[in-house]
Structure 1
Amino acid sequence: MAQTLETLARRSTSMRGIRSVVHTMKTLSVINSAPYEQAAKAIEIYHASVLEGFHAFLTHFGPLDLPSATGTPQILIVFGSDHGLCGNYNEALAAHVAEQTETDTVLCVGAQMADALADCGIAAKQTFFPAASVDGIGRLSNLLTRKLEAIRADAPPPHDISVSLAYVARDSAQGQRPVTTSLLPIDKELMAGLAEKPWVSRSLPAFAMPADDLFRALVRSHLFATVFRAIAEALLTENAARLALMQQAERSVDDRIEALGSEMRAVGQDEITTELLDVIIGFEALKKRKPAQDPEGHDVE
C-alpha cells in the first residue's frame, strides 16, 4: 500500500523519538556500569584483607577441621533483575538454575527472577528487592548475610548449612554466562593454602578476642564480601546486556530512519513528477484545442 508523504513524515518523527529513548537508555547503562565496577574492585580489596585475617588466625591457631557439605541443608541464592530491557537475562539464569542439583531452599533477588524460576518449576522461599545503586548493594548484602545466619541458627545441630550463589557473570568469550559458586562451607583448599602460607613478619599475630568470636567475625566478613561481589558482578553484567541490546536497537532504528528518509524522498519526487506531468498535459491540451468558428469563418470567443 502506497504511503503518503504526511504519513511517512509522522512515522519518521516517531522513530526519531524512539531513537532518543534508546540513546538515553544506552547512556544510562554506560553511566551505571562505572560505579558498579568500582564497587566490585573495592570489595575485592576488602575481601583480600579478610583473607589476610584468616591467614593470621590460622598462623596463630593452626589448621581448622572444617565441616563437610554432605547432609547439610542446601541453600541457593539467585540474583536476577527487575529493571528490564536486558533481553532474556532472567530466563537464561533460571534455565541454568533448573539444571543444577536439587536445592532445599531458594532465595531469590528480583520479582521477575522469581517468575522466571516459577516457569521452570522452582518456587522461591523468599524474594528480595534487587539493589538499585551502589549503596543498595551493601544493604542487600547485609540483609542476605543476616538471613543466612538465621537459617543456620534454625538448622539442626551442628547448625551447618551449604550455600551457593547463582548469578550472571562476565565472560571474555561469550560476553556473559550464568554461573553458580559455592559460598558455604568455606573452601577447604582456600583455608589449607592460607594455613600453609608463611607469615612474613618478625612478630606473630596476637588477638584480644576469643578465638570462636574472632572466627565467626571473619566468616561473616567473608560472607558479606562474597555476596557483595556477586551482586556487583550481576549488576555489571545486567547493564552490559542492556547496553548491547540498546546498541542493537539503535542500529535497527537508524536503519529504519534511513529507509523512511529514502521512501520520503521517493514519494516526494513522485508527487513532484505527477504535478509536473499534470501541468504539461494540460498545457499540451490547450495548445492542441482548435477555436470554434461561426458560419462566416470568424473565430468564436
Structure 2
Amino acid sequence: MQQLEAVRRKIATTGDLLSVVKTMKALAAVNIRHFENAAKGVGEYAEVVEQGWTVFFRNAGILPRGPRTGTAVVLAIGSDQGMCGQFNEAARNRTLRAIEELSAGGRIVSCWTCGERIQGALEDAGVTVEQNFRVPGSLRGVDTVVDEIERKLEAWRAGHGMTGFSIVGNLHVTDGDKVSVNHVFPLEKRSSNSAWEGRSLPMINVPPESLFSSLFREHLYISVYGAIVQSLAAENSARLAAMQVAEKNIIEHVELLESEYRNTRQGTITGELLDIVAGVEAVVGG
C-alpha cells in the first residue's frame, strides 16, 4: 500500500506541474500577441520618422560629423526569467562579436545590459557591465525603461564623449527567432533621391539643426523601444516553445506513472487475494 500511495502522490504532483506549464504556455501565447502588436505599431511610426529623414536630407543634405573613434555603448537585451531556451546565450554570443568588431575599429566599448541573466552571462565571459536595466514585464513598463536608458545615454554622452550606440537583441520574425545588431548611432546618411509619395516636394520651415535634433530623439526612442518589444516577443515565443516541449514530456511521464500505478495496484490486489486464499487454506487444512 505504501508503494501504491507513493505512485499516487507522484501522479498528483505531476498533474499540478502540468497545470502550471499549461498556464505559462497560455500566458506566453497572449504576451506574444501584445508585443507583436507593439512592434508593428513602432514599425509604422519608424516609417514616418524615415520620411522625416528624407525631408531633412532633401533640404539640408548633410549630417553632423563626429569622431570615428572614442567610446561606443553596446546595449545587450536579454531576459530576467528562465525557461526560454537558448535566448540569453544567443544574445550573449552576438554581443561578444559586436564588442570585438567595435574594438577592432578603434572604439572603447562600454557594455550595458537589459536583463539580469544576460548580465551574468556576459560577466562570466569576462565582460565588464557598466549599466544594467530591468526587463519590463508588460507594455506599461517599456516606456519607463526606455526613458531610463535615454537619460543614462545623455549623461554618458556628456561625461564620456560617446561616439557610438548599438543595440543587440533577439528578433521575433516569421521564419524563426534571430539575433540582430542595430547600430543606432552614428547615423548613416539616407538617400536624398528616394521617391516621394505625393504631388508636392517636401519642404521644411524650421532650422535644419532643430529638425535634426527632433528626428534624432525620435530615432533613438523607436530604436530602443522597438528592440525591447521585439526581444520580449521573441522571449515569449521561446518560452512558448519550451512549454510545449515540457507539456509533451509531462503528459508522457503521467502516462508512465498511471501505467505504473495500475500495475502496482494490480500487484497489490493479487498479493492480497493470495494472502486470503493462503489463510483460508490454512484454516481449512487446520
Partner of 1:293 in structure 2?
A: none
TM-score under structure 2 normalisation? 0.89
Higher-Rg member (1/2): 1
Partner of 1:182 in structure 2?
A: 183
CA contact (8 A) 2:114 2:133 kept: yes
CA contact (8 A) 1:69 1:185 kept: no
Question: Which of 259, 279, 284 does residue 282 from structure 1 map onto?
Answer: 279
In the alignment, residue 133 of structure 2 is paired with which amino acid?
Answer: F
What SS does the corresponding residue of 2:119 show, helix, strand or coil?
helix
Aligned counterparts of 1:270 and 1:278: Cα–Cα separation in 2: 12
Task: Measure how far apart 1:3 and its partner are.
Answer: 7.0
Task: Measure how far apart 1:279 and its partner are.
Answer: 2.7
Task: Measure how far apart 1:285 and its partner are.
Answer: 4.2
Task: Measure how far apart 1:287 and its partner are.
Answer: 4.7
In the alignment, residue 137 of structure 1 is paired with which amino acid?
Answer: V
Aligned counterparts of 2:203 and 2:185: Cα–Cα separation in 1: 27
Go from structure 1 to structure 2 and tell me whether the alpha carbon gap of 1:37 and 1:171 turns closer, same or farther (over 3 Å shift).
closer
Question: Which of 238, 242, 246 does residue 241 from structure 1 map onto?
Answer: 238
CA contact (8 A) 1:58 1:64 kept: yes
Aligned counterparts of 1:20 and 1:163: Cα–Cα separation in 2: 43
Partner of 2:166 in structure 1?
A: 164
Partner of 1:298 in structure 2?
A: none
Q: Give structure 2 stretches of 5+ with no counterpart.
A: none
Aligned counterparts of 1:198 and 1:211: Cα–Cα separation in 2: 21
In the alignment, residue 241 of structure 1 is paired with which amino acid?
Answer: A
Partner of 1:77 in structure 2?
A: 75
Go from structure 1 to structure 2 and tell me whether the alpha carbon gap of 1:207 and 1:28 turns closer, same or farther (over 3 Å shift).
same
Q: Give structure 1 stretches of 5+ with no counterpart.
A: 290-301
Go from structure 1 to structure 2 and tell me whether the alpha carbon gap of 1:69 and 1:4 turns closer, same or farther (over 3 Å shift).
farther
Aligned counterparts of 2:3 and 2:205: Cα–Cα separation in 1: 84
Equivalences, count: 279
Partner of 2:206 in structure 1?
A: 209
Deviations 1:142-172 (A, max 9, x none): 322333233333344xxx6111111112355
CA contact (8 A) 2:77 2:169 kept: yes
Go from structure 1 to structure 2 and tell me whether the alpha carbon gap of 1:55 and 1:118 turns closer, same or farther (over 3 Å shift).
same
TM-score under structure 1 normalisation? 0.85
Partner of 1:196 in structure 2?
A: 193
Task: Measure how far apart 1:230 and its partner are.
Answer: 0.7
Task: Measure how far apart 1:11 and its partner are.
Answer: 1.0
Aligned counterparts of 1:200 and 1:179: Cα–Cα separation in 2: 30
Partner of 1:122 in structure 2?
A: 127
Q: Provide the aligned C-alpha RMSD in A.
A: 2.2
